[in-house]
């Protein structure tokens, strides 16, 4: 039941209001003084949905109490009743966000309409606040999963960045490394978490449509513009705008975006009025934007404006020790969605997942886990649906073309050698052939030094 707090020093009128709203289904709390109401709101935390308050109380002013509540983040809606209205009071009430300012004696029919509107507004605010709280918990820095040094470094940086009022952040990394996730973490755990989070993929829209989406347009600005449209920069006011695949943006549009960022003002297509915007920008790309700048394919001034801080996300192949934790998390997620109970991941399956190169990174891993969960017949993770092996013919062709004649490792395929033993044998042989030079061995095996060191430690292949 929704709580209504009535602050009224006239005992008879207060009792009449209480009975009236109790009959309407409210849980009513009556406070005759400002001091008692302050104790209820700020100390007892009764969290009323709506407050119906007299303006002038024996020990204070209702507007002062509203200001204290707002400063402490209380979100309920307020309606004021007063025996005599002062324009200054009405103006202050409006600035503090009061719903209405009504004269006594109250017309109950009109009061009911005002209170119904206040209740709807308060419920909407409460839903938004609860949703923001859920998003903050879901998108905390801990949402970037993994215990590898690379994952810990990203979490540490995210924790620091969330506490800073940076105007823009560039997020770099291969496709599927989690750039969208990081943008949401920076927003929902940052200083603008109460504002909107708006995103657009710059590669998904043609130039003219992207310009209209970003800046909006007025009615009649172009054929088909039958009504005014608020652009994404306008919609993100007070919050964050995430520009994914920023490197694909047209050069002419880059100029307009830079001007809007610098001036904090936009102008809709076909419009004459400038609209102020206050946004935090997250830009992301799976390409090397700095290289695109040097090649003249991206504006240097826009790049430097966007990269107040640049955060590069690691590829999944550089942190294979995180795969088991990611798999466990994804198992739980997709079991819930698909109403399955897959809980056993055979050792050879996990080894296959850890040994795979993951060109599509975490996004590809998600897709693989989802497919296997959906097609599972029992509680065991099905290896046959991994579908990670490249074409044997293509693999043999590449290997034969890449390796010098005679530089081969022969492995039995009759089942006498397990996959893990093959992996260990390949790495051990390669290390021996390159004098245990980790960099040269990693280059020969087409992997990274970090991944190879992890394998050396896993299989105890040190020199000693």
At 401 the pLDDT is 42
Question: What number is the average pLDDT over the span 187-209?
Answer: 90
* pLDDT, position 200: 94
Write down the pLDDT at residue 72: 78
- Gap between the terminal Cα atoms of the chain: 72
> Above 60 in pLDDT, residue 146?
yes
Whether the pLDDT of residue 94 is over 90: the answer is no
358 in helix, strand or coil? coil
Residues of the chain with CATH 1.10.8.60: 317-385
Averaged pLDDT for residues 343-350: 94
Residue 38's pLDDT is: 87
Distance CA 192, CA 238 (A): 7
Helix, strand, coil shares of the chain as percentages rounded to 5? Answer: 50, 15, 35
In this model, does residue 404 exceed pLDDT 60?
A: no
Report the pLDDT averaged over residues 301-305. 96
Position 276 scores a pLDDT of 93
Task: Please tell me the number of Cα atoms within 13 Å of 17 on its side-chain side.
Answer: 28
> Is residue 93 scored above 50 in pLDDT?
yes
DSSP code, position 283: E
Q: Is the pLDDT of residue 67 over 70?
A: yes
Domain with CATH 3.40.50.300 in the chain: 139-314
Q: Is the pLDDT reported for residue 464 higher than 60?
A: no
* pLDDT attached to residue 398: 40
Answer for the pair 102, 111: CB distance below 8 angstroms, yes or no: yes
Residue with tokens 């009071």: 89
Supply the pLDDT for residue 314: 95
pLDDT at 331 over 60: yes
Residues of the chain with CATH 1.10.10.60: 406-458
Q: What is the pLDDT of residue 211?
A: 92
What is the structure's pLDDT at 106?
77
Integer CA distances (angstroms), 358 to 331, 382, 455, in order:
18, 19, 16
Residues 6+ apart with CB under 8 A from 244: 179, 180, 183, 199, 200, 201, 202, 203, 284
According to the model, what pLDDT value does residue 399 have? 43
Please, what CATH class does the domain formed by 406-458 belong to?
A: mainly alpha
d(CA 355, CA 320): 8
pLDDT for residue 226: 84
Beta strands in 67-140 (DSSP E): 77-82, 100-103
Among 8-17, 67-76, 399-408, which is the least confidently predicted range?
399-408
CA distance 72 to 205: 43
State pLDDT tens for residues 218-251.
Answer: 988 888 888 888 999 999 999 999 999 999 999 9
pLDDT at position 217 = 92
Question: What is the rounded CA–CA span in Å between residue 376 and residue 383?
Answer: 9
Residue 190 pLDDT class (50, 70, 90 cuts)? very high
pLDDT at 395: 41
Distances (CA, A) of 200 to 241, 245, 248, 281, 283: 8, 9, 12, 12, 10
Mean pLDDT over the full length of the chain: 87
For residues 59-71, average pLDDT = 87
Domain 317-385 has CATH 3.40.50.2300: no
What mean pLDDT do residues 7-23 have?
A: 92
Over residues 426-449, mean pLDDT: 86
Q: Are 151 and 314 in contact (CB under 8 A)?
A: yes
Give the CATH H-level superfamily of domain 3-135.
Response regulator (3.40.50.2300)
Task: Please give the full DSSP string across 5-46, using - where no structure is assigned.
Answer: EEE-S-HHHHHHHHHHHHHTT-EEEEESSHHHHHIIIIIS--
Residue 446 has a pLDDT of 84
Lowest mean pLDDT among 50-64, 81-95, 279-293: 81-95
Per-residue pLDDT, 447 = 85
CB-based contacts of 240: which residues, under 8 Å, 6+ apart?
183, 186, 187, 190, 192, 195, 196, 197, 198, 279, 280, 281, 282
Q: Give residue 306's pLDDT.
A: 95
The pLDDT value recorded for residue 348 is 93
Considering Cα of 250, then 254, then 257, then 261, what sign does the dihedral take? positive
More confidently predicted of 117 and 130: 117
**pLDDT bracket for residue 29 (50, 70, 90):** very high
- Band of the pLDDT at 71, cuts 50, 70, 90? confident
Q: In degrees to the nearest 10, what's the CA dihedral of 394, 395, 396, 402?
A: 110
Per residue in 408-431, pLDDT tens? Answer: 777 766 555 677 778 888 998 888
Residues 75-88 have pLDDT tens digits of: 789 999 887 767 77
By percentage, how much of the chain surpasses pLDDT 90?
54
Q: For residues 153-171, b (16+ Cβ closer than 10 Å) or e, as one string?
A: ebbebbeebbeeebebbbb
Which range has the worst mean pLDDT, 316-325, 352-361, 386-395?
A: 386-395
Q: Could you give the 3-state DSSP secondary structure of residue 217? A: strand
**Is the CA virtual torsion 130, 136, 142, 145 positive or negative?**
positive
| E-state strands within 35-122 | 50-54, 56-57, 60-61, 77-82, 100-103
What pLDDT score does 166 carry? 93
Residues whose CB falls within 8 Å of the CB of residue 451, separated by 6 or more in sequence, listed in order: 317, 318, 320, 442
User: Residues with Cβ < 8 Å from 31, sequence gap 6 or more?
Assistant: 5, 6, 7, 8, 37, 40
Residue range 271-275: mean pLDDT, rounded = 91
Do 187 and 197 touch, CB atoms closer than 8 A?
Answer: yes
Burial 311-325 (b: 16+ CB within 10 A, else e): bebbbbbbbbbbbee
Contact 54, 81 (CB under 8 A): yes
Of residues 447 and 171, which shows the higher confidence score? 171
Which residues of the chain are in CATH 3.40.50.2300 domains?
A: 3-135
Find, among 40, 43, 41, 48, the residue nearest to 21 by Cα: 48
Please tell me the distance from the alpha carbon of residue 72 to that of residue 87, in angstroms, as a whole number: 26
Predicted pLDDT of residue 457: 81
The CATH classification of domain 139-314, taken from the options 3.40.50.1820, 3.40.50.300, 3.30.750.24, 3.90.1150.10? 3.40.50.300
Average pLDDT over residues 393-419: 54
pLDDT for 389: 60
- What percent of the chain lies above the pLDDT cut of 70? 92
């Amino acid at each position: 039941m929704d709580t209504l707090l009535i602050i009224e020093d006239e005992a008879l009128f207060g009792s009449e209001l209480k009975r009236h709203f109790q009959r309407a289904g409210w849980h009513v709390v009556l406070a005759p003084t400002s001091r008692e109401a302050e104790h209820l709101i700020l100390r007892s935390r009764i969290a009323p949905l709506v407050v119906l308050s007299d303006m002038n109380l024996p020990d204070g002013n209702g507007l002062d109490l509203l200001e204290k509540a707002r400063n402490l983040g209380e979100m309920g809606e307020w309606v004021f009743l007063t025996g005599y209205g002062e324009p200054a009071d009405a103006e202050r009430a409006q600035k503090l966000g009061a719903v209405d300012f009504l004269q006594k004696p109250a017309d109950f029919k009109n009061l009911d309409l005002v209170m119904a509107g206040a209740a709807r507004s308060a419920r909407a605010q409460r839903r938004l606040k609860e949703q923001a709280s859920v998003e903050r918990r879901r998108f905390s820095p801990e949402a970037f999963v993994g215990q590898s040094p690379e994952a810990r470094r990203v979490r540490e940086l995210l924790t620091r960045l969330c506490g800073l009022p940076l105007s823009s952040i560039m997020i770099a990394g291969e496709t599927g490394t989690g750039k969208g996730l990081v943008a949401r973490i920076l927003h929902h755990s940052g200083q603008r978490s109460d504002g909107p989070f708006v995103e657009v993929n710059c590669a998904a829209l043609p130039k003219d449509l992207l310009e209209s989406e970003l800046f909006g347009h007025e009615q009649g600005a172009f054929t088909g513009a039958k009504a005014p449209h608020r652009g994404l920069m306008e919609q993100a006011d007070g919050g964050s705008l995430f520009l994914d695949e920023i490197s694909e943006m047209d050069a002419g549009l880059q100029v307009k975006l830079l001007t809007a960022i610098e001036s904090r003002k936009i102008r809709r297509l076909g419009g004459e009025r400038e609209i102020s915007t206050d946004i935090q920008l997250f830009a992301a790309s799976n390409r090397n934007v700095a290289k695109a700048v040097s090649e003249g394919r991206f504006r240097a001034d826009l790049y430097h404006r966007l990269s107040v801080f640049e955060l590069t996300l690691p590829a999944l192949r550089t942190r294979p020790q995180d795969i088991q934790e990611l798999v466990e998390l994804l198992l739980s997620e997709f079991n819930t969605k698909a109403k399955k109970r897959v809980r056993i991941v055979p050792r050879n399956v996990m080894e296959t997942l850890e040994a795979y190169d993951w060109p599509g990174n975490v996004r590809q891993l998600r897709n693989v886990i989802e497919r296997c969960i959906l097609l599972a017949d029992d509680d065991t993770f099905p290896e046959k649906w991994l579908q990670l092996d490249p074409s044997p013919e293509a693999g043999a062709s590449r290997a034969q073309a890449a390796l010098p004649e005679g530089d081969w490792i022969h492995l039995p395929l009759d089942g006498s050698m397990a996959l893990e033993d093959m992996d260990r044998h390949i790495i051990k042989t390669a290390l021996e052939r390159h004098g245990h030079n980790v960099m040269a061995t990693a280059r020969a095996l087409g992997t990274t030094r970090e991944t190879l060191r992890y394998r050396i430690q896993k299989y105890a292949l040190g020199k000693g």
